[in-house]
Amino acid sequence: MQKIKVVLCGEKAVAEHCLAFLANRRDTEVCAIVTAPKDWQADLISWGTKRRIKVFVGNINDYLDELTQMKLDFVISVQYRPLLKSPILNLPRLGCINLHFGLLPKYGGCYPIAWSILNNEKEAGATLHYMVENFDEGNIISQTSVPISPNTTARSLFDAVSEAAFHLFAETYPKLCRGEADSQPQDLSMKLYYGADSIDFERDSVVCWENEPAEIQTQIRAFTFEPFQLPNAFLLLPGGERRKVTMAESRLRDLDSKALLKGPGQVVSVNPSGTLTIATGGRQAIDIGLLDGQNPRDFLVSLGTSPQGAVFL
Task: For residue 47, give its domain range.
Answer: 4-194
Which residue would you say has higher pLDDT here, 27 or 1?
Answer: 27
Q: Is 11 exposed, middle or buried (0-12, 13-18, 19+ CB in 10 A)?
A: buried
Of the chain, the percentage scoring pLDDT greater than 90 comes to 94
Q: What is the mean pLDDT of residues 277-291?
A: 94
Task: Decide if pLDDT at 188 tops 70.
Answer: yes
pLDDT band per the 50, 70, 90 thresholds, residue 110? very high
> Are 274 and 298 a contacting pair, CB within 8 Å?
yes
Q: What is the rounded average pLDDT for all residues in the chain? A: 96
Task: Decide if pLDDT at 262 tops 90.
Answer: no
Residue closest to 177 by CA, chosen among 90, 78, 73: 73
Which residue would you say has higher pLDDT here, 254 or 88?
Answer: 88
pLDDT for 2 equals: 93
β-partners of residue 229 are 225
Condensed to tens digits (0 to 9), the pLDDT of residues 10-37 reads 999 999 999 999 999 999 999 999 999 9
Q: With respect to residue 199, please indicate whether it lies within any of the assigned structural domains.
A: no
| Cα–Cα distances in angstroms (integers) from residue 61 to residues 43, 66, 67, 101, 130, in the given order | 21, 10, 10, 22, 17
One domain, residues 40 and 61: yes
Low-confidence winner among 127-136, 255-264, 273-282 (lowest mean pLDDT): 255-264
Q: What is the mean pLDDT of residues 131-143?
A: 97
Q: With respect to residue 93, please indicate whether it lies within any of the assigned structural domains.
A: yes
Query: Given its phi and psi angles, is residue 249 left (phi above 0), alpha (psi -120 to 50 degrees) or beta?
Result: left
pLDDT band per the 50, 70, 90 thresholds, residue 51? very high
Q: What is the mean pLDDT of residues 197-204?
A: 96
One domain, residues 114 and 25: yes
Task: Decide if pLDDT at 258 tops 70.
Answer: no
One domain, residues 42 and 182: yes
Going by DSSP bridges, is the β-strand pair 96-100/267-270 parallel, antiparallel, or unpaired? Answer: unpaired
| Cα–Cα distances in angstroms (integers) from residue 300 to residues 98, 252, 269, 275, 288, in the given order | 47, 21, 13, 11, 13
**Domain finish residue from 194, 218, 246:** 194
Our measurement of the distance from residue 144's CA atom to the centroid of its chain's CA atoms, rounded to an integer in Å, reads: 16
pLDDT for 156 equals: 98
pLDDT for 1 equals: 77
DSSP state, residue 184: B
User: The CATH number of the domain where 224 resides is what?
Assistant: 3.10.25.10
Give the number of domains in the chain: 2
Task: Decide if pLDDT at 257 tops 80.
Answer: no
Specify the DSSP element, H or E, that contains 177.
helix 154-178
User: The CATH number of the domain where 97 resides is what?
Assistant: 3.40.50.170
- The torsion of the CA quartet 274, 279, 282, 286, rounded to 10 degrees, works out to -20
> Are 141 and 176 a contacting pair, CB within 8 Å?
yes
Residue closest to 255 by CA, chosen among 273, 274, 282, 275: 282
One domain, residues 148 and 96: yes
> Are 13 and 2 a contacting pair, CB within 8 Å?
no
pLDDT for 75 equals: 98
One domain, residues 117 and 248: no
Q: Is 304 exposed, middle or buried (0-12, 13-18, 19+ CB in 10 A)?
A: exposed
DSSP state, residue 313: -
Q: What is the mean pLDDT of residues 74-79?
A: 98
One domain, residues 119 and 228: no
CB-based burial, 164-175: b 16+ in 10 Å, e otherwise: bbbebbeebbee
Q: What is the mean pLDDT of residues 78-87?
A: 96
Computed from CA positions of residues 194, 195, 197, 200, in that sequence, does the dihedral angle turn out positive or negative?
Answer: positive
One domain, residues 169 and 20: yes
Q: What is the mean pLDDT of residues 161-166?
A: 98
pLDDT for 78 equals: 98
